[in-house]
């Protein structure tokens, strides 16, 4: 099993990000914030020629279950979906929630992790189609 879930988009990065925002909402998750790394680096005087936007997404009901099981897992929340360019290609990537929660030995919430992973995958699929 891969540690990340990856998709490739044939759309522009701006369109992919717009479609990702809509897909997150369609699946009853929310976007907490978007980090535009190229812009942030430029503001710090660092030149970065690529594009990388990190969406922090969350479903509060799922987060509550995870936090009630083990508050230490808060270090891995919220979930993140990166949209970035690699050459002329736009890619989406997220860390597998199942594997991440496995790092905490959180076997009691494996079903939650699996459900979140399924939803994040569906969100990414919807954004690229």
12-38 as b/e, with b when 16 or more CB fall inside 10 Å?
A: ebeebbebbeebbeeeebeeeeeeebb
40: domain CATH number?
Answer: 3.30.310.70
> Which residues constitute the domain of residue 122?
4-128
What value does the mean pLDDT of the chain take? 95
Backbone angles phi, psi at 8, to 5 degrees: -120, 140
Band (pLDDT 50/70/90 cuts) for residue 68 is very high
1, pLDDT greater than 70: no
Please tell me the pTM assigned to this model.
0.94
pLDDT score, position 9: 98
Domains in the chain, number: 1
101, pLDDT greater than 70: yes
Band (pLDDT 50/70/90 cuts) for residue 106 is confident
pLDDT score, position 107: 86
Return the biggest CA–CA distance within the chain.
45
β-sheet bridge partners, residue 8: 91
pLDDT score, position 105: 86
DSSP conformational letter for 102:
H
2, pLDDT greater than 90: no
- Distance (Å, whole) CA 125 – CA 127: 5
Residue carrying the six token digits 């030149």: 47
């Amino acid at each position: 099993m891969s540690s990340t879930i990856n998709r490739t988009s044939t759309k522009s990065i701006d369109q992919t990000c717009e479609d990702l925002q809509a897909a997150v909402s369609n699946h009853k998750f929310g976007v907490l914030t978007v980090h535009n790394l190229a812009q942030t680096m430029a503001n710090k005087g660092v030149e970065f020629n690529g594009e990388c936007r990190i969406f922090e997404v969350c479903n509060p009901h799922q987060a509550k279950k995870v936090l009630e099981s083990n508050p230490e897992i808060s270090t891995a929340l919220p979930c993140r979906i990166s949209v970035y360019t690699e050459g002329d290609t736009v890619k989406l990537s997220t860390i597998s929630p199942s594997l991440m929660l496995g790092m905490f030995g959180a076997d009691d919430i494996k079903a939650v992790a699996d459900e979140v992973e399924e939803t994040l995958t569906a969100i990414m699929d919807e954004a690229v189609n």
